[in-house]
Chains A and B, each alone.
Chain A
């Protein structure tokens, strides 16, 4: 280990400029990230900080975000330089004929990463948590998990590339090739909708983790550069093959179990014929016809949330053989309580459509979805100032809420250590909002509600360098007691409320100090699929001009 330290110090001396830059960026981050929690509030509404209006790219949020991006880039650059300072590629390096033990050399580089990547980031995280008002030592496990994710997702893959390249330029070119590969593979993935909501784990994760580790081990132990470079192709080819040849039907049936016979389905589907008749639309493929089926979903538990993952449609005419349109992704569309309209899209051949124009068809629609049951519901009156919410979030309802600039309702601005809430659902009766409402604002009916569901994966921490997750709780999904106004909503977005009125008044009824809200922690009740047959459907009646 003594020699590992010796090589480590050599690298530290060699890379003092890079380390100084990283340290400077770290200090800037410690100053700018807390500003992000306040200044960047608008980005929670406006989508991304890069598009925040005002002084364009010169605004503070832009620079905050830039620094947050630059810090990991600088750290990774330093790691690459450290690895390439004792390059494993080539046959001219002086150290090849010195008593370097490969384990000592590898240990020195690991030490470098721990000392100059993980340790500074951990210190930054501790500081940021304290700055946000959380006790840092309570979250050590999550902080270590964050460092582990940084190692796994950023450092190890880049380190693996550094071991098979001799210079930074070579590494950048390799990264460029990888980016092109990712673009290509996402194109392939988009052509296979089932791949977007079906998990082929653990194989992809194993490939993505094992390959960089194998490359690093092989290079340090044997310096077999050609073989190590070939190993990069293993996950690349493997992931494409998995995407192309995964048995999706089997996986879907395994992941989204069908209901047992006699089991009460949590939802029921019906065709929504109230939406009227729509002219036939154009499909990108002229030999296909795009069909959009509007569906009404009724639930046994009205407080439940649905995450719609995929849909599958089979069409059978009186005189035609069954047509299987395959699975389509629904992009995890949320259906909150009160929302009951969605739609599924599919395409059928033009010939089949022409046959079905004058006769009725039988449809079999299958939905794959995640069912989330409401739980732990409690009433809450928003106090003034900062207050704790469940799952250890610290929230406030700022009177000068920047959300108002963007025409959004007043919101609860929350900070939570390590990750956003696993599941937090908020509803409020809009008329009970205590936010200042202009005199001339349109009155809402008594039972109009607004809601929002914030949820995240159940990991100890989210990936990133900021251990303080920000989220805003604001009523963005409305269930208004107005009659549907089809004329003003010619293109209702699937998943939108059953009441489709667009009334800017509801955006005034946000969450302010004194507003009573209801909070709950909906619990995942499982992934499932439900198949519903529809008899005597006349497709032209429900075909729409809309094709996404």
Chain B
């Protein structure tokens, strides 16, 4: 079993709304996989299907080698799940909450529990409903890490948290990264970038790309070409070029399949030899924004069927 999570053509419809449209996701064992995407992309839906909170309309999913529809009861011994919108028993104190969870897990580690309480600075005698949102997330995470889960699934854990709490959560997670596979859905790309090993970009229920973060970072480049005279932009740019624009004699675009030699040849064949070529690596946030804009434009032009990964349309700005 190489994948901790594997989905195959996963479809979920809520009445007439298609939340997932044939999702094929693979989360390698040991990965810290960041599932990113705009609001309504289907991240939470996908995760809830994986956790068997609800069923898929079509397709199948496996979690730790088990069909997701069979994930219940003891299967959760090896899965830790925390969600931003999870309803915790607010009437319980933090210590009572952890004590309540303890007997459910044979592998519960009291030392680790104490360590997490200390690390997260959790007040044991406070009721969960009296805690701040960040504190509640930390309490939930402590209750999901203390039994050494093989798989940790976090659904938007950083939403609305201050940087300090985020950092504490990330540190807590990284502490468990060696023994667990982590799937995390998030809007907070800057944070995810600091610790994720893999990233998947989900948009309108489809996975646009899914790869190792280092490979992704190598693949995307902001390109800036300087010409002696203003060039004319191609009517149909290469699929891998996103946000193509020009301003006087400068052409800018984002190359989503950057290979130095191949990209240079493409540029030459379209524009001729530029006076200067500069390219810079992109942050995950910039990549995400480029992909999101490309996706939105493709929706607006509404001429395509299901989009395939790493495609985009040219965006032209008039000089």
Contact = CB atoms under 8 A, between A and B. Distances in A.
B79 interface: yes
B202 to A, nearest CB: 19
A91 B48 CA distance: 8
B235 interface: no
B87 A99 contact: no
Contacts of B72: 101-102
A97 B47 CA distance: 11
Interface in B48-62: 48, 51, 53-54
Interface in B31-73: 48, 51, 53-54, 72-73
B89 A99 contact: no
Given A3-B103, A97-B79, A98-B101, A92 B73 contact: no
A97 B53 contact: yes
A92 B104 contact: no
Given A6-B100, A6-B103, A93-B87, A99 B54 contact: no
Nearest to B74: A99
Contacts of A96: 51, 53
A10 interface: yes
- Which range holds the interface residue count of chain A? 10 to 19
Most chain B CB within a 10 A radius of its CB, from A90, A97, A98: A97
B221 to A, nearest CB: 40
Contacts of B229: none
Contacts of A358: none
A6 B96 CA distance: 12
B53 A94 contact: no
A14 interface: yes
A100 interface: yes
Contact of A92 (B77, B87, B89): B87
A11 B276 CA distance: 71
Contact of B89 (A3, A14, A100, A102): A14
A92 B86 contact: yes
Nearest to A93: B87
Nearest to B104: A99
A147 B51 CA distance: 40
A138 interface: no
Interface in A1-32: 2-3, 6, 10, 13-14
A94 B81 CA distance: 9
B42 to A, nearest CB: 15
Given A14-B89, A101-B73, A102-B72, A91 B54 contact: yes
B53 A91 contact: yes
A101 B74 contact: yes
B85 interface: yes
A378 to B, nearest CB: 63
Contacts of A14: 89, 91
A90 B86 CA distance: 11
A515 B51 CA distance: 78
A98 B86 contact: no
A98 B104 contact: yes
B51 A99 contact: no
B279 interface: no
Interface string B199-222: 000000000000000000000000
Contact of B76 (A93, A98, A102): A98
A94 B92 CA distance: 13
Interface string B90-112: 01000010001101110000000
B163 to A, nearest CB: 26
B105 A99 contact: yes
A85 B100 CA distance: 14
A99 B76 CA distance: 5
A99 B53 contact: no
A14 B86 CA distance: 19
A97 B50 CA distance: 11
A393 B98 CA distance: 56
A35 B88 CA distance: 46
B54 to A, nearest CB: 6
Given A6-B103, A10-B100, A91-B54, A102 B87 contact: no
Contact of B87 (A94, A98, A100, A101): A94
A192 B73 CA distance: 51
A101 B74 CA distance: 7
Nearest to B101: A98
A535 B93 CA distance: 86
A417 B215 CA distance: 82
A101 B75 CA distance: 10
B184 interface: no
Interface in A82-132: 85, 90-94, 96-102
Contact of A100 (B53, B81, B91, B104): B104
Given A14-B89, A92-B86, A97 B81 contact: yes
A221 to B, nearest CB: 10
Nearest to B83: A92
A370 B53 CA distance: 57
Interface string B131-165: 00000000010000000000000000000000000
A3 B73 contact: no
Contacts of A10: 89, 100
A102 B77 CA distance: 15
Contact of B77 (A13, A94, A99): A99
Nearest to B73: A101
Interface string A66-86: 000000000000000000010
A8 to B, nearest CB: 12
Contacts of B54: 91
Contacts of A3: 103-104
B105 to A, nearest CB: 7
Interface of A: 2-3, 6, 10, 13-14, 85, 90-94, 96-102
* 6 A-B pairs closest in CB distance: A97-B81, A101-B73, A99-B76, A92-B87, A91-B53, A99-B104
8 contacts: A10-B100, A14-B91, A93-B86, A94-B89, A97-B51, A97-B76, A98-B104, A100-B104
Interface of B: 48, 51, 53-54, 72-77, 79, 81, 83, 85-89, 91, 96, 100-101, 103-105, 140
Given A2-B103, A14-B89, A85-B89, 8 more contacts: A90-B87, A92-B83, A94-B87, A94-B140, A97-B76, A98-B104, A99-B76, A99-B77
